[in-house]
Amino acid sequence: MHNSNIFTLNKTFIEDLFIKSPPLYSVLYIYFLSKCENNKLLINVSTISNTLSIMETDIVNCLKFFTKSNLITVSKDLENNILITFQQTEQKISNDDNLNTRSNQNITPKSKPNYTPEELSLYTESSKDLKELLKTIESIVGKPLSFNEIGTVFSFIDWLKLPVDVIVFIFKYCIDKGNRNFNYIEKIAISYADDNIDTIEKAKNRTKTFQKDYKEILKALGFSSTPAPVQIEFMDKWLKTFNFPLDIILEGCDLTVLSTDKHRFSYLNGILEKWHKSNVKTLDDVKKIQQQFVLQNKNKNNANKKSFSYSKKNDNYIKHNFDYDAINKKAMDKLKNQ
């Protein structure tokens, strides 16, 4: 495979993986292969990261990619160096969905990768960047992270491809707003990835926009105080998860204010959930739904009136206790007198 200045590439890599793998991974694979001796190469992730000026997590993800494709195997020594063994056998690429890049996936909580303890251990021990990020997050949330929480933080890098500084910004933003729930934080991170928020400047501008929207929504509902965490969670759901324009939410606010004086956030949430399920995108869509609602209620009321009228007639009929013998007698007497 490797001899002096000449080395060969695995056929599987050329035919299956060269096109499908991210360009950086292909370059790293060829770089590692050029350095190996007897199909083996011992590397230090931090050293490679500094040498090639790339993120440590990219190196680890590259190793994961080619391990799943059966081109290499990896193991660690006591000093956390990684031993790469290149496979000589020609094997077809695995059909594992995790080999796809994020651009081929829909970003939803269901598409989030599941990491094994061994994988997370490899990532955290091999990546100085990830170690520092986890320490920073623990400092922000004020507690050690659980296994699942570590997986969530790592997924923001591996799955959502968010920069480390943006991830830190997201955690600070959520904690400052009083929300420590990792499922909620994950939803915010997904919305950032969907909207290509990949710099601190973009993140700050987005925050300013949403804070302005919060004030508009609170004002429309009749509130003037600073929003509570649960209210922010509702508004983030409407703005970020449902991705509603502000004018649609304000239309829902108007309907809510006209309908109830209590529990307005819950009431409005019910309206917006129905609109979201109905795939509402514009105010015209809202008008159509409202017209359908009025028509359905009109038809229902008409049906109820007919049912009531029929029932009333039946009641009158049933209540008449006719004496047919007396009626016949009166008819006969009338005939005799004629």
Supply the range of the domain harboring residue 75.
2-89
Neighbours of 87 (CB within 10 A): 17
Are residues 163 and 128 part of one domain? yes
Residue 260 lies in a domain: yes
Residue 18 lies in a domain: yes
Are residues 141 and 66 part of one domain? no
The tally of domains found in the chain comes to 3
Q: Is the pLDDT of residue 168 over 90?
A: yes
- pLDDT tens digit string along 229-265? 889 889 989 998 899 999 999 999 999 999 999 999 9
Share of the chain above pLDDT 70, in %: 80
Who contacts 171 (Cβ-Cβ below 8 Å, separation ≥6)? 137, 140, 141, 185
Q: Is the pLDDT of residue 211 over 60?
A: yes
Are residues 211 and 194 part of one domain? no
The pLDDT of residue 297 is: 78
Residue 224 lies in a domain: yes
- Which of 176, 198, 220 terminates a domain? The answer is 198
- For residue 326 the two structure tokens come to 């007396």
Are residues 67 and 11 part of one domain? yes
Are residues 165 and 128 part of one domain? yes
Let me know: does 45 contact 59? Beta carbons within 8 Å. yes
Are residues 239 and 180 part of one domain? no
CATH number of the domain where residue 279 is located: 1.10.10
Residue 41 lies in a domain: yes
Are residues 292 and 214 part of one domain? yes
CA distance 110 to 187: 12
Are residues 211 and 290 part of one domain? yes
Are residues 121 and 79 part of one domain? no
Let me know: does 65 contact 31? Beta carbons within 8 Å. no
Are residues 193 and 211 part of one domain? no
- pLDDT tens digit string along 40-82? 999 998 899 899 988 888 888 888 888 888 889 998 887 878 9
CA distance 129 to 107: 24
Are residues 236 and 171 part of one domain? no
Are residues 225 and 265 part of one domain? yes
Write the CA distances from 103 to 43, 98, 106, 280, integer angstroms: 29, 12, 8, 26
Kindly report which listed range (149-158, 295-304, 319-328) carries the lowest average pLDDT score: 319-328
Residue 188 lies in a domain: yes
Q: Provide the pLDDT confidence category of residue 94 given band limits of 50, 70 and 90.
A: very low
Q: Model pTM? A: 0.61
Residue 283 lies in a domain: yes
Residue 10 lies in a domain: yes
- Which of 198, 222, 255 terminates a domain? The answer is 198
Residue 103 lies in a domain: no
Backbone dihedral angles phi then psi of residue 260, each to the nearest 5 degrees: -150, 150
- Which of 144, 167, 198 terminates a domain? The answer is 198
The pLDDT of residue 240 is: 86
Instruction: Indicate the average pLDDT of the chain.
Output: 81
CATH number of the domain where residue 73 is located: 1.10.10.10
The pLDDT of residue 258 is: 94
- For residue 120 the two structure tokens come to 């997370």
